[in-house]
């Protein structure tokens, strides 16, 4: 495996992380001829990926996003100016997430704003 590779890129659930870990651990474990440093990196990335998934904000849930979209639809009818202001804020999503840099919640904000704008 390449150094600095993100082994868990694309994993959305803990189960996916576990499956990827088991697959890679069979190849990378020192007892299987792997390198100690690379295996430790795999283990660190696994723990980080699982922690990120488990700390995901409830504000990214499909139910919450649907509620926000419904609320925005109601606002468009009742208070068009308010809805317009909310849409302006969500248009700045790339700027907002860019300012968050390495914040642990950056991923949650990106997912939420992406779903709201779908």
Contact 54, 14 (CB under 8 A): yes
Return the structure tokens found at 51.
């922690």
Structural domain count of the chain: 2
Is residue 2 in a domain?
Answer: no
Task: Enter the pTM of the model.
Answer: 0.50
Do 64 and 83 lie in a common domain?
A: yes
Do 72 and 43 lie in a common domain?
A: no
Is residue 47 in a domain?
Answer: yes
Rounded average pLDDT over 108-112? 69
pLDDT of amino acid 38:
92
**pLDDT at residue 76 tops 70:** yes
**pLDDT at residue 106 tops 70:** no
Of 68 and 3, more confident: 68
User: How many percent of the chain have pLDDT more than 90?
Assistant: 26
Rounded average pLDDT over 55-63? 67
How confident is the prediction for the chain on average, in pLDDT?
77
Contact 53, 107 (CB under 8 A): no
pLDDT of amino acid 17:
92
Range of the domain at 44: 14-54
Contact 7, 20 (CB under 8 A): yes
Is residue 90 in a domain?
Answer: yes
């Amino acid at each position: 495996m390449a150094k600095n590779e993100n082994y868990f890129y694309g994993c959305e659930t803990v189960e996916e992380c576990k499956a990827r870990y088991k697959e890679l651990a069979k190849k990378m474990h020192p007892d299987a001829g792997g390198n100690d440093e690379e295996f430790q990196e795999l283990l660190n990335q696994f723990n980080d990926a699982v922690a990120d998934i488990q700390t995901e904000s409830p504000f990214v849930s499909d139910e919450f996003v649907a509620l926000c979209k419904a609320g925005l639809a109601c606002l468009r009818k009742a208070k068009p100016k308010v809805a317009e202001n909310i849409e302006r804020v969500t248009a700045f999503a790339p700027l907002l997430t860019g300012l968050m840099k390495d914040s642990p919640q950056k991923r949650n904000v990106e997912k939420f704003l992406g779903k709201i704008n779908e």
